[in-house]
Structure 1
């Protein structure tokens, strides 16, 4: 309790995702439901013109992200004739967006729905729906459908690499916590591991995830079966 109080005193509105979002709304920024700002203290969201920023539902903003609605280039242009000419434009983020670490969203940009913005990207132009963008300046890498297909095709091999790497480094078999993102591959559908349920909740489409979980069939009967396929035996390394 004391730590929470000190956290609120020191970091004020940025002490948590919930408090920062509430504060942004109070400033006049439009923010939908189910949004998360993972590290508010390192996130910079422009509130100089709060009415010019709109964020939809289920938007996830990671550490170091900057979102702007203006710039201060007028300070340089003023040197031409002494005239003050502003530069404010509406910035709009749709719904179901993931913004990677240290990304910068410049003023006047519109990001559509179902979009992934890669880490370190500088978004200078509009991003269309159902797409993945990355780079400086950010450009379209592929569609969400293409990314899903690639991830699905490589899922088993990626899970294997994670398992073997952990096994070789720590001399013990990985458990469900280590393989939390790959539990769909080997979890009996008659139960719901807490780690997997937490991921479903964080996805903001928990109901859809649970429906898929119940209606799908795992590729392996259990974790040990999967680990055997990876070449990891039942016995831990001595």
Structure 2
């Protein structure tokens, strides 16, 4: 967990995404490619690299804000990975992915979208609040960066579905898989994350209420994640 804490200590005048990329590359090297966490990690590594390139190229009007949001978002995923390694409690939104990561009846596409669900449905809202505290601004000041990061995630979701959806050779899985994954939308999750971030910001002076709101958000996103990982074949 020290490495994730070290990443968090870099919150300052400008946030580089390089430490998060290095961590995710290390996770990719250490896990079997079929492991559900490795499947999501590969997807998220691609996202982080693309956002990093976009920040470096000046695609974001406020590079500092974009880097802060991206680093905070990555940090929450890496903290979950470290917690599992240490045997510590894991947020409910991430538990299904870690619990079912080796289940033979769960398809790679399900693993990838379950991870995105945890990140967008829960972690993104908290990352906005974290970044606002770091930058001493309000969520409205990060709305452009939030939208741009969300646009990258939407494009990535489309790529995930194209690359990981089973082909004709496993057609018997296609109908239930298509039905299952059609129940979740990244656009809706992103809209919910923005509303949750604004709500949490308004509740920042009421820590008990904010904590209850965050816990309920975590549990509800975890429930969706468990649904997305419904096994489609027997063990």
Same fold (TM > 0.5) = no
What TM-score comes out, normalization by structure 1 length?
A: 0.25
What TM-score comes out, normalization by structure 2 length?
A: 0.25
Larger Rg: 1
